[in-house]
Chain A
Amino acid sequence: MLAILEGAVGASVLALTALGLSLVFGVMRVVNVAHGEFFMLGAVVAWFVSTSIAGHPAIGFLAALAIAPLIAGAVAVLVDRLILKNVAYDPEATIVGTIGVLYILQQSALMIYGPEARPVEPPFSHRIALPWLEWGENGLAFFYPWGLSITSYKLFVIAAAISILLAFWLILSRTRLGLIMRATQMDRETALAFGIPVQRVYSIVFGLGAALAALAAVLIVPIQQAHYLMGHDPLLLSFIVVIIGGLGSVRGTIFAALLIGMSDGVISVFLSPTLSKILATLLVALVLVFRPQGLYGKKMA
């Protein structure tokens, strides 16, 4: 149980982050190496917001939940306008460009925010513990805390991530914006011919991708802490997820995030955390060899 829940927390945050990366690639064909830094940006902004607002931690947290994705999104739109547009979204140039953005964001965070890891107080946190049951010599015996122990906040993270994912899916499949985004994804030239402002769509998508990463970071930061180097791991895991799931496929991304997150939780509890990383990497290699387009990806023409 503990393993599954720990895995689910990881998986839900991972799904949000990876979805941002996958969206950007799917629509824009841009491999955003700076994605992890937008994650970090979200966490750092969350710290600034929650510490500058007095009162109950929940108020600060809610404010952070709203402000952090907006700021990360705005920075991303700026990056899109200033950098990506000027290299004409050339796949190689954008990789180099976003590596630059990665360092700019990371070092600015170091200069402004400092090198410390700082905690954000969770809006609520109750410890929920169920004992481990075992039929022993004296009948049924309880063992605390080796059964299940989790905090209510962690459950909230899972629920929040699921609802955000659902909302995102609705936007993509039911609204005009989603339609435009899907059209741009399918064929940029035709979309342009039909009067879709592709440049604006690109900006929005890049901003949205960053905002998703920031949102995931705000959710995780009361569990972990905001630190200027924290973008590295989510970036790596997001790439793993996106490769397994298939670049640009929402369904694949979520499925792969669940797979990686859950297996990470379960394998680390029962075997070793290093082994789970090895398995994830192995999975990537296998997918690349046998199904280069990813589990749910469509073959490119």
Chain B
Amino acid sequence: MTQTPKTSRRRLLKSAGAGALLAASPLIGRFASAQSSAPIKIGFQQHSTGIGAAYGRWYGRTTDAAVKMINDAGGINGRPVEIIAEDDGTDPKRGAEVVEKFSNQHGCDVAFGTLFSHVVIGSAPAAGEQKIPYFVVSEGHHVASGALNRYTLQPGITDVKSQVQAMAPYVSENLGKKVTMIFPDFAFGHDHRDFFTAAIEAQGGEVLEHIAVPPAETSFTKYFPKIPRETEVLYHVMVGPAVLTFVKELGEFFGPSSPAIFGFIDSLEAVDLASPGLEFLEGTYFWEGNPRYAQADQTEYDQAFRAAVGVDDNGASVSDPSDVSTYAHMFGCWETLNIIKAGMEASDYQSAADRQKLIEAVEAMTEMPESMQHPQGPKLFNGKTHQVFGVQYISRVENGRLVKVHTTSIEDTLYPDEVDYTTQSF
């Protein structure tokens, strides 16, 4: 309370100098990347801490493995790829700052890697302002819904709307028509609520009750008495650090007398299926973006992908079997990086000045066959909506393992365009 800050001439000069340096730094970055041998810098917005930490860890490992593969094969346009990872704390505000930092401070060519939908929605405007291509790996429908901008693309992972739409026929034919949904109370959960409800009604079924759970909730039993008695199928999707508690309490609540249960594997990503209390999941069904356990008909690509990332046949780390991966999502990082490579090569990307050419090159992409670049399966990219479509998997828990029982077609996941980003100016 005794000192008041005084602005001396020296201090003023100092801060002016610092400001000038800061302002100059993107220029330095631009010069550096203009030289043909300089690395291509990809800013990786990583959920290292906060509620998305388990995803962030595995997105990081997958990214490293993909970059190694790309660099071993000669990099992009003869230049090595360098990943600049920044923690966003799974926080939208911090996410936007990270994107700005990539553009202004690190001189990144593109930004990439975000998963949680609220962070994507918070960061995308910053990407638009900075005019930096922003490749998200998020599953959210916000890209294809037209809510974002031309700089934001999702070419490596399918969105919730197409996923749930492809699940509804299987659920109504095999499990039941009266569904109760439990989902997290934010954008991602609302996508599930809106699109699955519509999709199951199109199949002649109905949703009896929507139970929204606040994302920071830690105890769940109090929500379960709201599940109507005549429920035939319980549809659950949950995210965050408390997912194991959620599934365990679900088991404690129902015991042996539960309805059919269909869940999105998000409820158990990075969680060992053999955890105590999860025995009741035997015989229940899960959506999987990519089967966690190596299947009988495993492709050579999946095998090589597992080996490159360091994942064993049970979907856990080869060095620590209790460190279970986020296998249903992390392939998206691998595929997205390969698309960035393909896009940069198609547009002969040299420097940040070519960013618009890169986006146009990616928008021009359509079919992506199953390959080492796309180990999850074949995909179809829609340049207008900036969203990719692909096959989805349904697995059943058998003897504590997830066994694939159904594979949808890409056609099952398609829906009419809601936006045409290509008509927007850069």
Q: How far is the CB of A218 from chain B (nearest CB, A)?
A: 16
A224:B53 contact, CB within 8 angstroms: no
* In the assembled complex, B366 has its CB within 8 A of some CB on chain A: no
A224:B245 contact, CB within 8 angstroms: yes
B223:A273 contact, CB within 8 angstroms: yes
* In the assembled complex, A195 has its CB within 8 A of some CB on chain B: no
* In the assembled complex, B252 has its CB within 8 A of some CB on chain A: yes
* In the assembled complex, A37 has its CB within 8 A of some CB on chain B: no
* In the assembled complex, B418 has its CB within 8 A of some CB on chain A: no
Query: Which residues of chain A are within 8 angstroms of B242 by Cβ–Cβ distance?
Result: 117, 224-225, 227
A10 and B50 CA atoms in complex are apart in Å by: 24
B223:A233 contact, CB within 8 angstroms: no
* In the assembled complex, B221 has its CB within 8 A of some CB on chain A: yes
Query: Which residues of chain B are within 8 angstroms of A110 by Cβ–Cβ distance?
Result: 49
B225:A119 contact, CB within 8 angstroms: no
Q: How far is the CB of A137 from chain B (nearest CB, A)?
A: 15
B222:A117 contact, CB within 8 angstroms: no
A116:B252 contact, CB within 8 angstroms: no
A121:B257 contact, CB within 8 angstroms: no
A233:B214 contact, CB within 8 angstroms: no
* In the assembled complex, B48 has its CB within 8 A of some CB on chain A: yes
Binding-face segment, A22-30, A141-149, A174-182, A197-205: A141-149
* In the assembled complex, B416 has its CB within 8 A of some CB on chain A: no
Selected contact of A115 from candidates B53, B216, B226, CB within 8 Å: B53
Contact with B along A218-235 (1 / 0, CB 8 A): 000001110101100100
Contact with B along A90-122 (1 / 0, CB 8 A): 000000000000000000001000111101010
Selected contact of B222 from candidates A125, A230, A273, CB within 8 Å: A273
A145:B222 contact, CB within 8 angstroms: no
A225:B241 contact, CB within 8 angstroms: yes
* In the assembled complex, A127 has its CB within 8 A of some CB on chain B: yes
Selected contact of A146 from candidates B229, B252, B270, CB within 8 Å: B229
Known contacts A227-B241, A273-B217; A268/B229 CB under 8 A: no
A224 and B246 CA atoms in complex are apart in Å by: 9
Query: Which residues of chain B are within 8 angstroms of A283 by Cβ–Cβ distance?
Result: none
A269:B222 contact, CB within 8 angstroms: yes
B255:A145 contact, CB within 8 angstroms: yes
* In the assembled complex, A151 has its CB within 8 A of some CB on chain B: yes
A1 and B57 CA atoms in complex are apart in Å by: 41
* In the assembled complex, B244 has its CB within 8 A of some CB on chain A: yes
A67 and B213 CA atoms in complex are apart in Å by: 34
A227 and B214 CA atoms in complex are apart in Å by: 17
* In the assembled complex, B31 has its CB within 8 A of some CB on chain A: no
Query: Which residues of chain B are within 8 angstroms of A227 by Cβ–Cβ distance?
Result: 241-242
Tell me the nearest residue of chain B to A232, going by C-beta: B216
Query: Which residues of chain B are within 8 angstroms of A150 by Cβ–Cβ distance?
Result: 252
Known contacts A115-B48, A145-B257; A2/B241 CB under 8 A: no
Known contacts A115-B54, A119-B275; A127/B252 CB under 8 A: yes
B50:A115 contact, CB within 8 angstroms: yes
Tell me the nearest residue of chain B to A264, going by C-beta: B222
Contact with A along B334-368 (1 / 0, CB 8 A): 00000000000000000000000000000000000
Count residues of chain B with CB under 8 A from any CB of chain A: 33
* In the assembled complex, B218 has its CB within 8 A of some CB on chain A: yes
Query: Which residues of chain A are within 8 angstroms of B244 by Cβ–Cβ distance?
Result: 117, 119, 225
B49:A129 contact, CB within 8 angstroms: no
Known contacts A146-B229, A227-B241; A2/B255 CB under 8 A: no
* In the assembled complex, B407 has its CB within 8 A of some CB on chain A: no
A149:B253 contact, CB within 8 angstroms: yes
A110 and B89 CA atoms in complex are apart in Å by: 12
A125 and B255 CA atoms in complex are apart in Å by: 13
B54:A116 contact, CB within 8 angstroms: yes
* In the assembled complex, A80 has its CB within 8 A of some CB on chain B: no
A224:B219 contact, CB within 8 angstroms: yes
Q: Which residue, of B56, B221, B229, B257, has the highest number of chain A Cβ atoms within 10 A?
A: B221
* In the assembled complex, B5 has its CB within 8 A of some CB on chain A: no
Query: Which residues of chain A are within 8 angstroms of B225 by Cβ–Cβ distance?
Result: 2-3, 146, 269
Contact with A along B45-70 (1 / 0, CB 8 A): 00011110110110000000000000
Selected contact of A145 from candidates B53, B241, B254, B277, CB within 8 Å: B254
A265:B48 contact, CB within 8 angstroms: no
Selected contact of A268 from candidates B56, B216, B218, B222, CB within 8 Å: B222
Q: How far is the CB of B217 from chain A (nearest CB, A)?
A: 7
A230 and B50 CA atoms in complex are apart in Å by: 11
A143 and B216 CA atoms in complex are apart in Å by: 31
* In the assembled complex, A52 has its CB within 8 A of some CB on chain B: no
Known contacts A116-B54, A143-B229; A10/B241 CB under 8 A: no
Tell me the nearest residue of chain A to B256, going by C-beta: A144
Known contacts A269-B222, A273-B222, A273-B223; A225/B245 CB under 8 A: yes
B252:A151 contact, CB within 8 angstroms: yes
Query: Which residues of chain A are within 8 angstroms of B276 by Cβ–Cβ distance?
Result: 119, 121
Q: Which residues of A, 269-289, contact B by the 8 Å Cβ criterion?
A: 269, 273-274
Q: Which residues of A, 230-284, contact B by the 8 Å Cβ criterion?
A: 230, 233, 265, 268-269, 273-274
Query: Which residues of chain A are within 8 angstroms of B57 by Cβ–Cβ distance?
Result: 115
A145:B218 contact, CB within 8 angstroms: no
Tell me the nearest residue of chain B to A115, going by C-beta: B53
B270:A116 contact, CB within 8 angstroms: yes
Known contacts A10-B219, A225-B242; A145/B253 CB under 8 A: yes
Known contacts A145-B257, A274-B214; A115/B49 CB under 8 A: yes
What 3 A-B pairs have minimum CB-CB distances, sorted nearest first? A115-B53, A117-B241, A268-B222
Please list 20 pairs of residues, one from A and one from B, whose beta carbons are closer than 8 Å in the complex, sorted by A's number: A3-B222, A6-B221, A110-B49, A115-B48, A115-B49, A115-B53, A115-B54, A119-B276, A129-B255, A143-B229, A144-B255, A146-B225, A149-B252, A151-B252, A223-B219, A225-B241, A227-B241, A229-B241, A233-B218, A268-B223
Other A-B pairs, 17, CB within 8 Å; known A225-B242, A269-B226: A3-B222, A6-B221, A114-B53, A115-B49, A115-B53, A115-B56, A115-B57, A116-B241, A117-B241, A119-B245, A129-B255, A149-B255, A150-B252, A151-B252, A273-B217, A273-B222, A274-B214
Q: Which residues does B use to contact A, with CB under 8 Å?
A: 48-51, 53-54, 56-57, 213-214, 216-219, 221-223, 225-226, 229, 241-242, 244-245, 252-255, 257, 270, 275-277
